[in-house]
Chain A
């Protein structure tokens, strides 16, 4: 079964760092892009960025460039989303998703992780 399993919920204080993970299984992890999507409480989906684990090619939405870092460790089929200094406004659900097709050539996010809730509060 193809699946993405994300790390568990996090509660952090403003200014702290955080790295959440997304582990793929059931498919060739290095052959598909992995994207990250934010959903703030009661709000819509926001596309954050994407990485190709095969060569770590990473692209960011302009809204998230410089705010987060996306990485991957292909040896353990895991992608990451990290923050160096969290803010209260980072409180949200974060989803990882597998993208079919190449960036800029269509496809979709066909497999999603279960989501990781991040709460940032003093």
Chain B
């Protein structure tokens, strides 16, 4: 069982928006603004899309945005494109003993 809970799958049509949730606890997501999101295509290494809840690394399209409310973080992808189809993982700092924890991952299907 993963420390952070994500939906196993989400889907959307090209051009639509989708939101992936990441639910933790007051010991991780709820306590720190250190949530990051990673995209992983099959057979490839993960790629950071969002860090520190809502910051976007250079080169990541502004279609990708992040937010947090309480113990739940969210990744929103607007204007869905075929190449967005991938697995997405959230990750949160969880204190000096647990350090970092990942969510179980969400498979995004672009219909």
Contact = CB atoms under 8 A, between A and B. Distances in A.
Interface stretch (B19-27, B75-83, B93-101): B93-101
B98 A62 contact: yes
A44 B89 contact: yes
A110 B51 CA distance: 9
B105 A44 contact: yes
B57 interface: yes
A61 B103 CA distance: 15
Contacts of A37: 46, 102
Nearest to A114: B45
A115 B40 CA distance: 13
A61 B36 contact: no
A52 interface: no
Contacts of A44: 2, 87, 89, 102-105
Contact of A59 (B38, B91, B99, B104): B99
Contact of A104 (B52, B91, B93, B101): B93
B109 interface: no
A79 B78 CA distance: 38
A45 B45 contact: no
B71 interface: no
Interface in B54-111: 57, 87, 89, 91, 93, 96-105
22 contacts: A44-B104, A45-B38, A45-B91, A47-B91, A47-B101, A47-B102, A50-B99, A59-B99, A61-B99, A61-B100, A62-B97, A97-B46, A106-B32, A106-B34, A107-B34, A107-B52, A108-B48, A109-B91, A110-B57, A112-B47, A113-B45, A115-B45
Interface of A: 35, 37, 44-47, 49-50, 59-62, 95, 97, 100, 103-110, 112-115
